[in-house]
Amino acid sequence: MSSRRIVILTEGYTNPSRAKTAAGVLRYAGDDVVAVLDSAKAGQTAQTLLNAGGDTPIVASVKEVAQANTLMVGVAPTGGKLPTPMRRHVLEAIQLGWTIESGLHDFLCEDEEFAAVARESGAVLKDYRKNAERDVAMRQGLRAECLRLHTVGHDCSVGKMATAIELARGLSVADVDAKFVATGQTGMMIEGDGLPIDAVVGDFISGAAEKLVLENQHHEAVVVEGQGSITHPCYAAVTLGLLHGCAPHGVVYCYEMGRANIHGLDHIELPAIADSIELVLANAVPPCRLIGIAINGRDVSDAEYVNEKECVIEAHGVPAVDVYREGAGDLVKAALKFREAGFGAAT
Amino acid sequence: MSSRRIVILTEGYTNPSRAKTAAGVLRYAGDDVVAVLDSAKAGQTAQTLLNAGGDTPIVASVKEVAQANTLMVGVAPTGGKLPTPMRRHVLEAIQLGWTIESGLHDFLCEDEEFAAVARESGAVLKDYRKNAERDVAMRQGLRAECLRLHTVGHDCSVGKMATAIELARGLSVADVDAKFVATGQTGMMIEGDGLPIDAVVGDFISGAAEKLVLENQHHEAVVVEGQGSITHPCYAAVTLGLLHGCAPHGVVYCYEMGRANIHGLDHIELPAIADSIELVLANAVPPCRLIGIAINGRDVSDAEYVNEKECVIEAHGVPAVDVYREGAGDLVKAALKFREAGFGAAT
């Protein structure tokens, strides 16, 4: 059990799409969380506002939560800066000597005021995206017996991390020694290890991804969290570096039903799912197979979802499931079958 | 005319493939170079050892070149560290108060000894790869009238920078206001501007590339230097981020005849040229066309080259030329024709 007693800071951002980090940590490491902080929403619960976290209370200030020792910045906005309304809460927690966990591109430890106050109080500033990765990929030494799975998708914020976690946990339940490999700040906050691939310098992205596999391939299976999408105007570099570096035997493709345009770039249409899958496989290190599809149907009716699911299974010949609706059972079964069949290499 | 009077440091690395930076600067900014430094090769000429630079002498120490004011590190090895034998020369030049120009991933200005001596002497430590790029791509605001060209290829070190420079210079001679857009340290050392795309943090690679286009699209044409290759195990992330960010109307594909395996990763085969071109176009922002091919035939006979050239033109239906053998004339003509035809968008 972790000794962290976390308050998640979402000031002004307390909804599931803007506070993705908060929602993910509440869902998958919720036992460590004692409160969520948003001064305008105090008195409500995490479940109501973030769709995760049950009765975890929303509080107005760090001072209300004497039993906590960690303030976690619960957002990771585009560009990666700390939203201004959050600043006073961070400062207060630093003054109390708490650990501050952040996944922002702008590092708390490089903020002069934060650093000075932390030196006084003994607070630890933990910047998950800070890294000095300098390994280039070698595409050597991969253990043939370790099944490498990877989640990819058509856009950001469609469930690639959740699907990877659910798949790894499901494999573990099925007695496969499987490891969720975190590649982003939220996954790292949940899992306690991993690397922030999108914060690694260009030349070393694939090397960092490869290193994550090399370090974890003593497990029977690794499930590597995906980032962005292969066609994303901002983040495809990270997606491809990761796809090359972790060299998956199988990918699970994740998409959200009804999403027509790129998250945050409304003037750009998303590609058709079939084209997007084809492009992922064309870019992957062969042999690589599509083993399942994770449909995110958060904004559609059950009838619409069921209809979509049937069409997708028919079109792609692999299991498809909404992990949030039905759990990852069908994907776990697909992974077990793929493993029994020798990872598709021979077929 | 530049006020730089450069000594290029290649100590222990004085051959064209290991001292790529030196060879490129000698070829395209040679007027600024007064000497090349390699203590074991002193007395010879740059042309003999680096295949560029004519009579530029090789010297044994910075002290022999009183008229110089700049020491340029002439290599950029994998991983980006300063080779140990170069250290004493860098230190000597810093003591003399020179400007030190480096394209290494490891920054000279962060080396404690170098920084301390530079503070004493007033030497400037100029790290070309140091950057704080934090713009995400928006894929907006691109000027439709500015022709965007981009060089891509099957591997590193095949001539993508040289082809881009030759093409931009050739277009200028043909009265098109064309700008070479440097995306790597050598190109930046030659052109005096640009961005070190492979040293940008993952999330901001496409944004940095896009910014380069936005800043230069007042020209009639930009020719954006390519990096790595779309299948490169180490560097494809950079390649794709750049391809997305500069959104070329046309690409020139560069490859070296006879190269079977990846430069520095001899256990991995290169893809077939046709497959590689297809993958570039599949990943590019449409519409994007192949407009020409640059064959690097440095290791083959004229007869072999002529035969290859005919086959390539036949197979791909575009002009093909060895820029080093014949100049970029045929590529310039292809670009002019592409421009007159409306960048291929309507056809």
Q: pLDDT digit string (tens) for A174-223? A: 999 999 999 999 999 999 999 999 999 999 999 999 999 999 999 999 99
Burial level of B336, CB count in 10 A (0-12/13-18/19+)?
Answer: middle
Q: Do A205 and B203 touch (CB under 8 A)?
A: no
Q: Three-class SS of residue A34?
A: strand
Instruction: For chain B, list the domains and their CATH numbers.
Output: 6-127 (3.40.50.720), 147-340 (3.40.50.300)
A238 touches chain B (CB under 8 A): yes
Q: Do A202 and B238 touch (CB under 8 A)?
A: yes
Peptide bond into B287 cis (omega under 30): yes
Which residues of B fall within a CB distance of 8 Å from A240? 236-237, 240
Its ipTM equals 0.96
Residue-level pLDDT at B80: 82
**Prediction pTM value:** 0.96
Minimum Cα–Cα distance from A139: chain B residue = B233
Return the structure tokens found at A294: 């994770």
In contact, B204 and B134? CB cutoff 8 Å: yes
Q: Do B236 and A240 touch (CB under 8 A)?
A: yes
Buried residues in A149-185 as b, exposed as e (16+ CB within 10 A): bbbbbbbbbbbbbbbbbbbbbbbbeeebebbbbbbbb
In contact, A248 and A150? CB cutoff 8 Å: yes
Task: Report d(CA B279, CA B270) in Å as an integer.
Answer: 13
B43 touches chain A (CB under 8 A): no
Task: Report d(CA A243, CA A235) in Å as an integer.
Answer: 13
Contacts for B2 with CB less than 8 Å, ≥ 6 apart: B29, B31, B32, B192
A138 touches chain B (CB under 8 A): yes
E-assigned strands of chain B?
6-9, 33-37, 58-59, 70-73, 99-102, 124-127, 147-153, 178-181, 221-224, 250-256, 261-262, 265-269, 289-296, 320-321
3-state helix, strand, coil in chain B (%, to 5): 40, 20, 40
The per-residue pLDDT for range A49-69, each reduced to its tens digit, is 999 999 999 999 999 999 999
A131 touches chain B (CB under 8 A): no
Instruction: Give A137 to chain B, closest Cα distance, Å.
Output: 5
Phi-psi label, residue A90: left if phi above 0, alpha if psi -120 to 50, beta otherwise: alpha
Mean model confidence pLDDT for chain A: 96
Residue to substitute from A240, A242, A246, A275, interface B, most B β-carbons within 10 A: A240
Q: Which of residues 62-121 of B touch A (CB under 8 A)?
A: 78-80, 105
Residue-level pLDDT at B345: 59
Q: pLDDT over 90 for what percent of chain A? A: 95
Query: Is 50 exceeded by the pLDDT of residue A347?
Result: no
Q: Do A237 and B234 touch (CB under 8 A)?
A: no
Please report which confidence band the pLDDT of residue A2 belongs to, taking 50, 70 and 90 as the band edges: low
Length of chain A: 347
Which residues of B fall within a CB distance of 8 Å from A279? 282-283
What is the dihedral sign for C-alpha A327, A331, A333, A335? negative
In the block, residue with structure tokens 């307390």: A14
The per-residue pLDDT for range A66-113, each reduced to its tens digit, is 999 999 999 988 878 999 999 999 999 999 999 999 999 999 999 999
Instruction: Give B198 to chain A, closest Cα distance, Å.
Output: 5
Return the structure tokens found at A236: 């495809």
Q: Do A267 and B139 touch (CB under 8 A)?
A: yes
Contacts for A151 with CB less than 8 Å, ≥ 6 apart: A160, A161, A163, A164, A167, A223, A224, A225, A226, A251, A252, A253, A254, A294
The per-residue pLDDT for range A299-311, each reduced to its tens digit, is 999 999 999 999 9
The parts of chain B modelled with pLDDT lower than 50 are 1, 346-347
Q: Which of B207, B234, B268 sits opposite A203 (nearest CB)?
A: B234
Minimum Cα–Cα distance from A284: chain B residue = B231
Helix axes B329-340, B160-173, angle to 10 degrees: 60
In contact, A238 and B235? CB cutoff 8 Å: no
Minimum Cα–Cα distance from A129: chain B residue = B201
Task: Report d(CA A133, CA A87) in Å as an integer.
Answer: 29
Which residues of B fall within a CB distance of 8 Å from A267? 139-140
Which residues of A fall within a CB distance of 8 Å from B267? 139-140
3-state helix, strand, coil in chain A (%, to 5): 40, 20, 40
In contact, A101 and A33? CB cutoff 8 Å: no
Q: Which of A198, A202, A207 sits opposite B199 (nearest CB)?
A: A202
